[in-house]
Amino acid sequence: MFDYISFFQNLSNGVLIGAVYALIGVGLTLVFGVMRTINFAHGDFVVIGMYFAVVLNSILGWDPYITLIFAIPLGFATGALIQKYILARIIDAQPETMMLATLGISLVIANLLLLIFGGEPQSVNVSYASSTFEIVDVKISIVLLLAGSITLFVIGGLFLILNKTEIGRAIRATAENRLGAELVGVNTKKIQAIVFGMGMALAMAAGVALIPLLFASPGTTGATFTLKAFVVTVLGGLGNIGAAIAGGLLLGIVEIMGASYLNSAYRDAYGLLAFLIVLLIKPEGLFGKTVKRV
Amino acid sequence: MNKHYILLIGLFILGALYPILPSAYITVGVTVLLFTGWASSWNLLGGWAGQLSLGHASFVGLGAYFVALGSTQFNLAPWWSVLLAMLFASVLSLLWGKLTFSLRGPYFSLSTIAIAEILRLVAINEGWLTGGATGVFIDTLPQPFGIDFFSKTTQYYLALVYAALTIAITIFIATRKFGFQMRAVRDNEEAAMAAGINPTAIKLKAFAISAALTAVGGGIYGIFLSFIEPHLIFNLLLSIQIALTVIIGGRGTIWGPAVGAVVLVVAGEFFRTTFAQANLLLYGALILIVILTMPKGIVGEYSHRLIRRKYAKNA
């Protein structure tokens, strides 16, 4: 007989993990929408968020979730500065040039972290790390639930900014048509800096949300997150925030289901396979607008 | 274009004399040559046809694994393994290209990362074939005509021939119809189509050649390392390094990959020996500086300046 309890258990875990993937993916897709480039340092921004929480926890003893209040503005400022002083110089070069510049930034960040914190993985111990509560025999981990809620709040805030404020209107205009936005008086340089800052803030928030679940380690962790963020955005549809959320949830579910019903050693591969299948049959993403075909 | 061949022959002779130097320098020499070969192969697809791959480590890994498994499991001589690896790499690239080349934007680049990741996971998890996460160790290789493949000097000459071959192929293709078709596709797909070129077919051809050539270098790399670990060989950093070698040297130029390989490998080696832990940090910073100040790459900027000077004189 089919085991419904464990099915719903996996589903709830998948959705909650997927929510955090969505948070990472939304930042990447937001930046892609306005700057038309894939930010390879995005995963490293997530790792910066993780270390930020680790440091504040070990020095000041703060709960990782409280550090969010500082992680978000810090991420925004750093991201805006990176865009203003590094990426803005090559904004008119070929899109590949920009992509490679972000690769350079990624290498610098990953190795700076390695130099400061060493190769040993670090994490934050919270008293509620393993506590759960049950809804009809389905166990829900508090930490996962908190991570999912953070995503909900941060993305909700982002939606309000994008849809209800003047800045948000300018961002959407720049994403749709940069030249057109400039013609009606939008300072697109400023918008790009703001968006890159928002992207980094979202990534750092995701890092903080993940720290009680995962270990922070410099080096390849950043690249892994960047890859996950790509998968999320392509599953949903590149440059579309709602689609990135759906893509994140889908990736979380596919990974958890694949790992528990097929072979757990290939956990990371299921997401990638789903990504290749989506590329094959619906390259604009499951929820995206049509892309131009040759 | 003859001057390129003459330069290549001159450099080849100089390269053949390199092992006179103390044997401590041989490893750097092999690394420079392998990167020259990989980067030249990458350049055919990424520079001339304009399709940025960030998964060329897959083909390096395929080449290395085919040679290693050929010798340890199937008792196959390395040259046959390399041929098989070339075949496998081109078939894989054709399937993969079919999937992604009809799309514009960053889809191709992104999918290349995914394929390398999947290959890495397969290499780690299918231990019965690949030796799993611990890797494979090449302990015996045939000795045709008494040539010892384990000697560093032999490996150096293999790498030298490989690097020279990829550059020669680049020079050959650059002046042929195929070379012009690739550039047409890169610069403007609509215009290329209007001129009767099928962009997808051109990209597929470039990808298959690029993949097969990279696999050859991978086979030599496998022999050079003689110990292959999936984490190190299907590594995103290796894919990135191959791409960056070309970007730094100059995309779509004949000598860019070689110049990039010398600069990056020597700088990398220097940083590694002098700054130990901080080496990749400085490496990243160097890449960032070159991209910001010379977006066309070293050779690209240089020839651009030469052309400007020539026109300034004529005016």
Q: Residue B148 domain-assigned?
A: yes
- Candidates B200, B214, B271, B273; CA nearest to B246 is B214
* Region at B284 (left for phi over 0; alpha for psi -120 to 50; beta for the rest): alpha
The number of distinct structural domains making up chain B is 1
Contacts of B285 in chain A (CB under 8 A): 104, 108
DSSP code for B267: H
Contacts of B260 in chain A (CB under 8 A): none
pLDDT at A293: 42
Q: Residue A242 domain-assigned?
A: no
Q: Residue A36 domain-assigned?
A: yes
Residue of B52, B96, B111, B286 to mutate when probing chain A, most A C-beta within 10 A? B111
- The Cα–Cα gap between B130 and B109 comes to 27
Contacts of A293 in chain B (CB under 8 A): 102-104
Q: Residue B307 domain-assigned?
A: no
**Statement: residue B43 has pLDDT above 70:** yes
CA dihedral B123, B158, B178, B44 (to 10 degrees): 50
The amino acid present at A187, given as its one-letter code, is N
pLDDT at A200: 93
Q: Residue B295 domain-assigned?
A: no
Query: Out of A107, A220, A268, whose CB is closest to B287?
Result: A107
Contacts of B121 in chain A (CB under 8 A): 265-266, 268-269
Q: Residue B142 domain-assigned?
A: yes
- Give the pTM: 0.81
- The Cα–Cα gap between B46 and B39 comes to 9
- The Cα–Cα gap between A200 and A217 comes to 18
B230 three-state secondary structure? helix
- The Cα–Cα gap between A146 and A293 comes to 41
The number of distinct structural domains making up chain A is 1
pLDDT at B208: 92
DSSP code for A165: S
Residue of B58, B98, B107, B241 to mutate when probing chain A, most A C-beta within 10 A? B107
Yes or no, beta carbons of B288 and A104 under 8 Å apart: yes
* Region at A281 (left for phi over 0; alpha for psi -120 to 50; beta for the rest): alpha
Task: Count Cβ atoms below 10 Å from residue A33 Cβ, excluding itself.
Answer: 20
> Are A44 and A234 spatial neighbours (Cβ–Cβ below 8 Å)?
no
Average pLDDT of the segment spanning B160-166: 90
pLDDT at B36: 92
**Statement: residue B96 has pLDDT above 80:** yes
**A134 sits in which H/E element:** strand A132-135
Return the bridge partners of B103, or none.
Answer: A293
Q: Residue B280 domain-assigned?
A: no
> Are B15 and B21 spatial neighbours (Cβ–Cβ below 8 Å)?
no
Tokens of B103: 């799309």
Contacts of B104 in chain A (CB under 8 A): 291-294
B314 pLDDT band (50/70/90 cuts)?
low
**Statement: residue B68 has pLDDT above 90:** no
Q: Residue A286 domain-assigned?
A: no
The amino acid present at B117, given as its one-letter code, is E
For chain B, the C-alpha Rg in angstroms (whole number) is: 19
Chain mean pLDDT for chain A: 81
Min Cα distance A258 → chain B (Å) is 14
Residue with the bigger pLDDT between B208 and A240: it is B208
**Statement: residue A37 has pLDDT above 60:** yes
Contacts of A106 in chain B (CB under 8 A): 284
B144-158, B200-214, B231-245: range with lowest mean pLDDT: B144-158
For chain A, what percentages of helix, strand and coil (3-state, to nearest 5) are there? 75, 5, 25
> Are B260 and B298 spatial neighbours (Cβ–Cβ below 8 Å)?
yes
Q: Residue A226 domain-assigned?
A: no
- Give percent above pLDDT 70 in chain A: 92
Task: List phi, psi (to 5°) of B43.
Answer: -60, -30
pLDDT at B195: 85
Half-sphere exposure of B301 (CA within 13 A, CB side): 14
Contacts of B189 in chain A (CB under 8 A): 294
Task: List phi, psi (to 5°) of A134.
Answer: -115, 140
- The Cα–Cα gap between B39 and B33 comes to 10
pLDDT at B315: 59
**Statement: residue B304 has pLDDT above 50:** yes
A280: nearest CA partner in chain B: B99
Range of the domain at B47: 2-238
- The Cα–Cα gap between A49 and B175 comes to 51
Residue of A31, A97, A103, A105 to mutate when probing chain B, most B C-beta within 10 A? A103
Range of the domain at A172: 7-116+135-219
Q: Residue A24 domain-assigned?
A: yes
Q: Residue B248 domain-assigned?
A: no
Yes or no, beta carbons of A276 and B115 under 8 Å apart: yes
Enumerate chain B positions whose Cβ falls within 8 A of a Cβ in A. 52, 99-107, 109-111, 113-115, 117-118, 121-122, 124-125, 189, 193, 199-200, 236-237, 240, 243-244, 247, 277-278, 280-281, 283-285, 287-288, 291-292, 295
pLDDT at B210: 93
CA end-to-end distance (rounded Å), chain B: 26
Residues making up chain B, counted from first to last? 315
> Are A14 and A7 spatial neighbours (Cβ–Cβ below 8 Å)?
no
A234: nearest CA partner in chain B: B107
A45 pLDDT band (50/70/90 cuts)?
very high
Min Cα distance B125 → chain A (Å) is 7
- The Cα–Cα gap between A76 and A94 comes to 26
Residue pLDDT, tens place only, A246-286: 888 888 888 888 877 777 667 777 878 888 787 777 767 67
Yes or no, beta carbons of B283 and A107 under 8 Å apart: yes
Residue pLDDT, tens place only, B118-153: 888 777 777 676 676 667 777 776 667 767 767 777
pLDDT at A290: 52
**Statement: residue A292 has pLDDT above 50:** no
